[in-house]
Structure 1
Amino acid sequence: MTFPLRAGLAAALSLAAAPALAHAVLAVTQASPNQTYRGVVQIGHGCDGKATTGITVTIPDGVIAAKPMPKAGWELSTVKGAYGRAYPSYHGSVSEGVKTITWKGGSLPDDQYDEFVFQARLTDAVAPGGTVYFPVRQDCDGAVVDWREVPAAGQSARDLTSPAPGVRIVAAAAAAPAASAPASIKAGDLTIEAPWIRATPGGAKVAGGYLQVTNTGKEPDRLVSASIPLAARGEVHQMAMDKGVAKMAPVESGLVIKPGETVVLKPGGYHLMFMDLTGPVKAGSTLEGTLTFARAGTVPVRFAVGAIGASAPEAGGGHQHH
C-alpha cells in the first residue's frame, strides 16, 4: 500500500495530538526537506496488556537512505525495495533502499516504555506544509496493532482509530551567512586579499594556504611565515618543475614583495605550508590566523577554507558528505 506524501494534509501528529491510547508515536514530529531525520518510535504500552515483541516501521516514498539503530536484546532486519522514482544523493542518484525496518524477539512489558531508533533522509517530495507518515506495526504475543491510518484532507488524526505517526514538513530556517574572509586587509603599505586554505582529509599533517599581496609602498617587504591554531608552524614554500619533476622547497629568507608588485600565492607555485596539523581543516569553515612580514609585522587574517583539492576558494564554502 502506498501512503500519500503531499502538501495540504492534516497537521502533524504530536504527543499531545495523538489519541490517549496510542501505542506508537514519533518523538520528533517536525523536520525540513533534504535533511537527515532521526526517527525515534516511542512505544508507551503493549496491546491490551500483552507485551510488545516486535516493531516494524514502513519507510514511505520520498524518504531515502534509511538506516536502523541496533537494539540490545532485539533481532534487527530490513527489507529493501525500489523507490517510486530516483532521487539525487551525495554520490549520484539512488532508486532503491530500505523500505521496512523490523525489531523482533525482545519483550517489552505492557507497563514499560521504550524507543526504537532509525535515521533517514527526507527528500523534497513533500513540500513544507505537508506531512510524511511512517506506519508502525506493533506485535504483541500473537496480537497485532497496525498504526497506519492516514487522515484525509481536512480530517484530524484524532478522528482515527490507529493513526500512523507523522512528521510535519516545514521550511528550513534561513541559515546564517557563512563567515568569510574580508575582501582585503591593509597592513601598512601591503594589501592582502583572499586568504584561503585547502581542506584536508582526516589524518593529514599538512595543509596548503594561498593569498594575494600587493605592495603599494616604496620599500620591499618579505612574507616570512604564517600561523593557524591547527598547525605547529607555517612556512612559505615554492613548487617548481625541475626536468619534469615537481619539487617543493621552503623559501628560506621569505618571499619578497617588491614596491608596486602584486605577488600571488596559489596551488602549483608559491604557497603557505602549514605543518604538523592537530586536526582536519574542514571545508566551508574559516580559520583565524596570522601572516608575518619583515616590515609590516604580524598581521591577523581570516582564512576561508575551500574544498579538498580546490584550485581556488569556493563561494560559500564546500559541502560535507553524510
Structure 2
Amino acid sequence: MTFPLRAGLAAAFSLLAAPAFAHAVLGVKQASPNQTYRGVVQIGHGCDGKPTTGVTVTIPEGVIAAKPMPKPGWQLATTKGAYGRAYPSYHGTVSEGVKTISWTGGSLPDDQYDEFVFQARLTDAVAPGGIVYFPVRQDCDGTTADWSQVPAAGQAARDLSSPAPGVRIVAAAATAAPAAPASMSPATTSIKAGDLTIEQPWIRATPGGAKVAGGYLQVTNTGKEPDRLLSASIPLAPRGEVHQMAMDKGVAKMAPVESGLVIKPGETVVLKPGGYHLMFMDLTGPVKAGDTLDGTLTFARAGTVPVRFAVGAIGASAPEAGGGHQHH
C-alpha cells in the first residue's frame, strides 16, 4: 500500500481537527522537509473497552532512518525493507531502512493514556503544504483497530472511520525568522519562532574521535501556552536529544528528558553545562572551535526552527566572548 505525501491545505486542517475522533494520533503535528522528526504516537483509549496490547507504526515512503524508543514493559521489533528510491543521508545514500515499528507485550487499560515514541528523517520527497501519514495499528486483546485510512482529494479526515495520523509539512522559513547571514554573529541574533525567542545557541568543540557533543541556548516563551523542546539536529549528528544533568548523592548523572523540556508561559529556560542541555549523538566528525553549524530545534507547538550554532572551545562553560558572544 502506498500513502500519498501531498494533499491540500484544507485536508491538513481537517486532519488536525481529527484527534477527537481517533484512538491514535501524533503529538507533533507539523514538521519540515530534510529535518529529523520526533514521532509521538498518543494512545488515548483501547478498542471497545479492551486494553491496548500492541502498537505498530508504518513508516511511509519519503521518511528514512526511523529509530524507535524502547518502552519499559513492552517488546520492541522493527521490519526493514527497500525504499521506493535512494535518498541522500548523512552517511551517503540509503535505499532501505525500517518500514514498521512495533511495541507488543504490554497492557494499557482502556481508561489510561500512554505514548509510543520514534524518530525519523523527513526527506525532500515531502513538500510543504502536504501531509505525511503514519498508519497505526492498535492491537487490543484479541481485536484490532487499524488507523490507516488516508483522505482522498477533497475529502476531510473527519469523514473517515479510521483516519491515519498525519503530520502537516511546512517550509522551515514559515516557523521562524531566517538564520543569520554568515557576516552576522550568530550569538547576537534572537530567533523568533511563534511565541518563542531563542538566543545564543552554541556547541562545545570536540576532540577527534568523540561521538557526542553538548549544545546550549536559552528559550523564552512570551505566549500564553506552554511549549516543549523535543529534539535538535546538526549535519554532523544523526540525532540530537534533550538531556538533564543532576547531582544524585554527590554523583553527576545524565539522562534524556523523555517527553521534552517544557517552556512555560512567561518563562526563560537556559540550557547550560551542568544542567539541561542538548546532546548530539553519533557524531560523524569533529566539532571545531570557531566554526558555525546550521541546525534545527524541534518544538511541540512552534515546530521545526532553523538555528545557527556557534562552536566554543573544548570544555567551555559559556560562549566565547569574542565575536559578539557574552559570558554568563
TM norm structure 2: 0.58
Mapped partners of 2:45, 2:247: distance in 1: 72
> 2:198 touches 2:220 (CA, 8 Å); kept in 1?
yes
Mapped partners of 1:256, 1:166: distance in 2: 23
Given the superposition, is the C-alpha separation of residues 151 and 244 from structure 1 closer, same or farther in structure 2, using an over 3 Å criterion? closer
> 2:131 touches 2:168 (CA, 8 Å); kept in 1?
yes
> 1:221 touches 1:258 (CA, 8 Å); kept in 2?
yes
> 1:225 touches 1:293 (CA, 8 Å); kept in 2?
yes
1:176 and 2:180 equivalent? Answer: yes
1:285 is displaced (CA, Å) by 4.3
Mapped partners of 1:236, 1:105: distance in 2: 28
Given the superposition, is the C-alpha separation of residues 318 and 58 from structure 1 closer, same or farther in structure 2, using an over 3 Å criterion? farther
> 1:77 touches 1:102 (CA, 8 Å); kept in 2?
yes
1:271 is displaced (CA, Å) by 32
> 1:10 touches 1:152 (CA, 8 Å); kept in 2?
no
Given the superposition, is the C-alpha separation of residues 13 and 319 from structure 1 closer, same or farther in structure 2, using an over 3 Å criterion? farther
Given the superposition, is the C-alpha separation of residues 41 and 179 from structure 1 closer, same or farther in structure 2, using an over 3 Å criterion? farther
Given the superposition, is the C-alpha separation of residues 92 and 112 from structure 1 closer, same or farther in structure 2, using an over 3 Å criterion? same
1:91 is displaced (CA, Å) by 1.3
CA RMSD of aligned residues (A): 18.2
TM norm structure 1: 0.59
Given the superposition, is the C-alpha separation of residues 152 and 307 from structure 1 closer, same or farther in structure 2, using an over 3 Å criterion? farther
> 2:14 touches 2:157 (CA, 8 Å); kept in 1?
no
1:201 is displaced (CA, Å) by 2.8
Given the superposition, is the C-alpha separation of residues 193 and 157 from structure 1 closer, same or farther in structure 2, using an over 3 Å criterion? closer
Given the superposition, is the C-alpha separation of residues 245 and 317 from structure 1 closer, same or farther in structure 2, using an over 3 Å criterion? farther
* Secondary structure class of the residue paired with 1:13: helix
> 1:306 touches 1:317 (CA, 8 Å); kept in 2?
no
> 1:15 touches 1:25 (CA, 8 Å); kept in 2?
no
* Secondary structure class of the residue paired with 2:16: coil
- Range that drifts further, 16-25 or 117-126: 16-25
Mapped partners of 2:138, 2:105: distance in 1: 12
Given the superposition, is the C-alpha separation of residues 3 and 306 from structure 1 closer, same or farther in structure 2, using an over 3 Å criterion? same
> 1:181 touches 1:194 (CA, 8 Å); kept in 2?
no
Mapped partners of 1:244, 1:207: distance in 2: 24
Given the superposition, is the C-alpha separation of residues 125 and 321 from structure 1 closer, same or farther in structure 2, using an over 3 Å criterion? farther
* Secondary structure class of the residue paired with 1:277: coil
Given the superposition, is the C-alpha separation of residues 307 and 48 from structure 1 closer, same or farther in structure 2, using an over 3 Å criterion? same
1:32 is displaced (CA, Å) by 0.3
Mapped partners of 1:73, 1:285: distance in 2: 43
1:22 is displaced (CA, Å) by 1.1
**Bigger helix share:** 2
1:6 is displaced (CA, Å) by 2.1
1:20 is displaced (CA, Å) by 3.0
* Secondary structure class of the residue paired with 2:158: helix
Residue by residue, what CA displacement relative to the aligned partner does 1:158-208 show, whole Å, maximum 9, x if unpaired?
Answer: 110000000010000272335657999999999999999996436889999
Mapped partners of 1:150, 1:48: distance in 2: 22
Residue by residue, what CA displacement relative to the aligned partner does 1:109-164 show, whole Å, maximum 9, x if unpaired?
Answer: 00000000000000011210010000000000011000000001111111100000
Given the superposition, is the C-alpha separation of residues 208 and 82 from structure 1 closer, same or farther in structure 2, using an over 3 Å criterion? closer
- Range that drifts further, 124-133 or 308-317: 308-317
Mapped partners of 1:269, 1:121: distance in 2: 28
Partner of 1:245: 251
> 1:10 touches 1:153 (CA, 8 Å); kept in 2?
no
Residue by residue, what CA displacement relative to the aligned partner does 1:288-322 show, whole Å, maximum 9, x if unpaired?
Answer: 99999999999999998699999999999999999
> 1:198 touches 1:308 (CA, 8 Å); kept in 2?
yes
Given the superposition, is the C-alpha separation of residues 146 and 180 from structure 1 closer, same or farther in structure 2, using an over 3 Å criterion? same
1:21 is displaced (CA, Å) by 3.7
> 1:36 touches 1:122 (CA, 8 Å); kept in 2?
yes
- Range that drifts further, 185-194 or 300-309: 185-194
Residue by residue, what CA displacement relative to the aligned partner does 1:23-81 show, whole Å, maximum 9, x if unpaired?
Answer: 10000110000000000000000000000000000000000000000000000000000
Residue identity over aligned pairs, in percent, reads 90
> 1:33 touches 1:171 (CA, 8 Å); kept in 2?
yes
1:233 is displaced (CA, Å) by 33
Q: Which runs of 5+ in 1 are unaligned?
A: none
Mapped partners of 1:269, 1:160: distance in 2: 46
1:314 and 2:325 equivalent? Answer: no
> 1:288 touches 1:302 (CA, 8 Å); kept in 2?
yes
> 2:64 touches 2:121 (CA, 8 Å); kept in 1?
yes
Matched residues, number: 322
Given the superposition, is the C-alpha separation of residues 202 and 23 from structure 1 closer, same or farther in structure 2, using an over 3 Å criterion? farther
Given the superposition, is the C-alpha separation of residues 105 and 171 from structure 1 closer, same or farther in structure 2, using an over 3 Å criterion? same
